Each structure stands twice: as C-alpha cells, then as structure tokens.
Structure 1
Amino acid sequence: MVVKGSCNCGRIRITMDNPTPSGGGVMICYCLNCRKQSGAAGTYVVVVENKDMVLTGRPKKFLDTNTACGRPLDRYFCYNCGCPIMYQSETVLPGKSLLMFGLFDDIPKPVAEVWTKRRPEWMVEVPEVLQYVTDIPDDVSGEEAKKLGW
C-alpha cells in the first residue's frame, strides 16, 4: 500500500510503501521539545526506514541539542509554511525517521505513549498501548521492539 503525505503548502511531499504494518511504530511523545515542535500536547509520529520513503522538496533542519534524552535530534520542517515534517537521530534510531502523522490523511491508533509524565493532566491515557514515563529504554527488544518499529 502506497501512502502519500505533504506539508500545508505542498512543497514537501512524502511517499512511502506500507509504512505501518500492523500499526507498528506509531506513537505519541509528550516531552517538552516535541510539544514545542508540534505546537500541541505532543507529537504523533510513525517510525519508518529511510530506505522505504521518498522525500521531495528540501525541508529545513534544526539541530535540537537540548533534548530530555540527552541525545541530539535533527528536526525537519517546511521552509515555506513551517509545518513539522520529521525528526531523525543516528544515535537513537540509525537509518530511521520519525514522521509527523499530521502529514497524512489517515491516522491509526498509537502503539505507545512516551514521556507520559509530561502528558497534560486533562488528557486520558490511550487504552491498551505501551506506556513509558520517560524515554523508551535503549534495551527494548522482542515483541515490544517490534510494536515500536525499532
């Protein structure tokens, strides 16, 4: 299944082939940096292999070195409309990107909520998904890692 998405102005476009098999890799992050990037309570992202997506246009990059996890993230956004596109980190997820789900028409249920200690008190926990008080542990493995798209 081919999935296409774009920023508000259409200058940045993404095409992927089956980015979320069985809903894997879809998560919400409530850390302060993700809140600031999204302009909302958190980011809603999907983990994809860089080799499985085609990005057209040239997003602007912001190197975020002041992260809660202590590792830098490259955050990308449209140079024209400011729409957040994705973030990447070779030290966190080599060869993968976390794409913002606002780029796409259909949004599946997440498999995880991350940095739940920063989730606004008025928001309810998403039922039956993995919950992480802060970052996802580096040693995550097995079925849990598969769900996360790691």
Structure 2
Amino acid sequence: MHIDGRCHCGFVSYKAEIDPEKVSICHCTDCQRLTGTAYRVTVPARRKAFEITGGEPKLYVKFGDNGRRRLQYFCPNCGSPIYTTGELEDADEVGIRLGTINQRYELRPQSQSWCSSRLAWIDTIGNLPGRPGD
C-alpha cells in the first residue's frame, strides 16, 4: 500500500510502500515516554521503500533493552516523532509513526508487544463518554 505523511507543522514529509498487515502497537515504557501517551503504533516499511520528500528530521539515539542503538527521527520544529530505524541488520526497516500517516484511518494494528507494560485502563476507553469535537 502506498502511504504518505508529514509532521504536525508540515516541515518533514515522506512517502513509503507498506504492508498494512504489519501495523503493531508497542506498550513498552520507552514508547510511552517517547510519545507522551499510553502506547505507540508503528507501521513498518523496508528502508528502500521509504523516502523523505521534504525537510530534514532531527535524530535522537537511544539504546534498546537488547543493547542495540535505536535511531529516533523527529521534526526539529514541532517535535513530532516521524520514524525509527536501527543499525546493521536493523537498518533495513523503518518504523513509521502512525499518527503522521495521511492514510492512518485505513490502517489497523494487527499485533501488540510489551504487554507487561500495558496500562490497565486501555481496555476501558471504549466505555468512556465522548463527543465529536472539543
């Protein structure tokens, strides 16, 4: 599936080819802190099928629990997380952040990881009162 997207302010933009069956949720505490929310939704793409089309993202490097470096790219202006990748064997794939994808309404997570860090209230949000805008 062809996708495109951008950060909140529009400075960084990209396009990619993805497999919509590989969208996943991560509940790890790193993803919670990096997003400032309960979990992160990632859409993987092969590195050769991902292209930055505007603006240059800024890089933040963190170490994963496996000891390998994870390269976190975000907009230098608005701070939106755009994608992540790794080094060596991990460099062949990028993990695009769902919220930046223009076609995000067409994508649905197919798996979850780090469920041991999952916040207990996640399953109950569908029962909360809601309104269409604020």
Q: Which TM-score band (shorter chain)?
A: 0.7 to 0.9
Aligned residue number for residue 14 of structure 1: 14
Indicate conservation of the 8 Å contact 2:69/2:87, yes or no: no
Indicate conservation of the 8 Å contact 1:31/1:68, yes or no: no
- Aligned-residue offset at 1:83: 0.3
Letter in 2 for 1:51: K
The structure where helix makes up a greater share of residues is: 2
Match of 1:110, SS?
A: coil
Q: Normalised by the size of structure 1, how large is the TM-score?
A: 0.74
Match of 2:122, SS?
A: coil
Indicate conservation of the 8 Å contact 1:63/1:74, yes or no: yes
Given the alignment of the two structures, is residue 46 of structure 1 paired with residue 43 of structure 2, yes or no? yes
Aligned residues: 121
Partners of 1:38 and 1:69 in 2: how far apart?
Answer: 20
Letter in 1 for 2:118: R
Given the alignment of the two structures, is residue 114 of structure 1 paired with residue 117 of structure 2, yes or no? no
- Aligned-residue offset at 1:91: 4.9
Partners of 1:69 and 1:43 in 2: how far apart?
Answer: 19
Partners of 1:16 and 1:84 in 2: how far apart?
Answer: 16
> What's the RMSD between the two structures over aligned residues?
1.8
Could you tell me which of 29, 34, 39 is aligned with 2:31? 34
Given the alignment of the two structures, is residue 64 of structure 1 paired with residue 55 of structure 2, yes or no? no
- Aligned-residue offset at 1:97: 0.3
User: Quick one: structure 1 residues 116 and 91, their matched pair in 2 at CA, closer, same or farther if it must change by over 3 Å?
Assistant: farther
Indicate conservation of the 8 Å contact 2:7/2:78, yes or no: yes
- Aligned-residue offset at 1:93: 2.7
Question: Identity of counterpart residues, as a percentage?
Answer: 28
Partners of 1:99 and 1:37 in 2: how far apart?
Answer: 14
> Superposed, which structure 2 residues align to 1:64-143 within 5 Å?
64-65=62-63, 67-91=64-88, 93-105=90-102, 106-107=104-105, 108-124=107-123
Partners of 1:87 and 1:44 in 2: how far apart?
Answer: 12
Q: Which ranges in structure 2 are unaligned for 5 or more consecutive residues?
A: 125-134
Indicate conservation of the 8 Å contact 1:71/1:91, yes or no: no
User: Quick one: structure 1 residues 85 and 116, their matched pair in 2 at CA, closer, same or farther if it must change by over 3 Å?
Assistant: same
